[in-house]
Amino acid sequence: MSEANVDTVRAQFTRQAEIYARMRQTTDQKGLDGLVALSGAKPGDRALDVACGPGFLTMTLATRAAHATGFDATDAMLALARAEAARRGIANVEFRSGDAEALPFPDASFDVVCCRAAFHHFARPERVLAEMVRVARPGAKIVIADMLGPEDAAKAAYRDRMERLCDPSHAHALSESELRALFDAAGVEVAFAFRSPFAVEVEEWIEHGGPTAEVAEELRRMVAACADEDLAGITVRRDGDRVTFSYEAAAFVLARPA
């Protein structure tokens, strides 16, 4: 990533590491198991989890593969991941720090390469994808799971502004067409794609971002406006004092040409 982008990501995720590691979307074991199943990881495989955060996907990969490596730019996240792996007694994992645009691994090192909930943080996602493809062995599976941005430009801009106000490390929520164009440019084929709605509790989302009280109120207003008009490609629901919004998320299984 660009140096400025890496610095922003590190600052934000260092500040929110503990909160992020407790969020339902981070710890959802059913979702983690589903991604690992999609990856086809099997005994004997070496797996890489790019932008691993607190390492829950890395550790789930380790239950199916011979070895799993988690890679992230934020040392605070990696410290949480190492502590949790030690607590669980998982020996076939390691966690390394660095820039996803320059993965410190030789070509064709991994049988499975994954990235979950991170592409919207990359200022240059095409460079990260190129690195993921480079370190994947011929015939390897590459799994990318993330939020989908709206195809409509105005809705995409509103959505990005909202996300960036909450979390300054947000770069851009890629639409499905943008992701597929990236995949085509990288020379990988979509072997499987899965879309589903993903619900976020507004107050938990705001807490994880940690904005000022003034910005938090602006975010609540922006979300509330989406209940009356489709401004950002999200669906807003209210249950008493609890407000949620949902958006489309997707997982893509990419085939590295043999």
27-32 average pLDDT score? 93
Q: What is the CATH number of the domain that holds 123?
A: 3.40.50.150
Is 203 domain-assigned? no
Beta-bridged to residue 192, according to DSSP, are 253
| Whether residue 220 has pLDDT greater than 80 | yes
Is 90 domain-assigned? yes
**In whole angstroms, what is the distance from residue 223 CA to residue 234 CA?**
9
Q: Which of 174, 185, 73 is nearest to 126 (CA)?
A: 185
| Whether residue 2 has pLDDT greater than 70 | no
Is 93 domain-assigned? yes
The tokens of 188 are what?
């990988």
Beta-bridged to residue 116, according to DSSP, are 145
The tokens of 148 are what?
């989908």
Is 205 domain-assigned? no
Total structural domains within the chain = 1
How far apart are the two ends of the chain, measured CA to CA in Å?
28
Scan for tokens 């639409």, then name that residue.
175
| Whether residue 1 has pLDDT greater than 60 | no
Is 215 domain-assigned? no
Tell me which residue range forms the domain holding 11: 3-155+167-198+248-255
User: What pLDDT score was predicted for residue 15?
Assistant: 83
User: What pLDDT score was predicted for residue 9?
Assistant: 86
Is 136 domain-assigned? yes
Is 72 domain-assigned? yes
Specify the pTM.
0.94
The tokens of 63 are what?
């239950």
pLDDT band at 8 (very low <50, low <70, confident <90, very high): confident
Is 232 domain-assigned? no
Scan for tokens 């995949």, then name that residue.
183
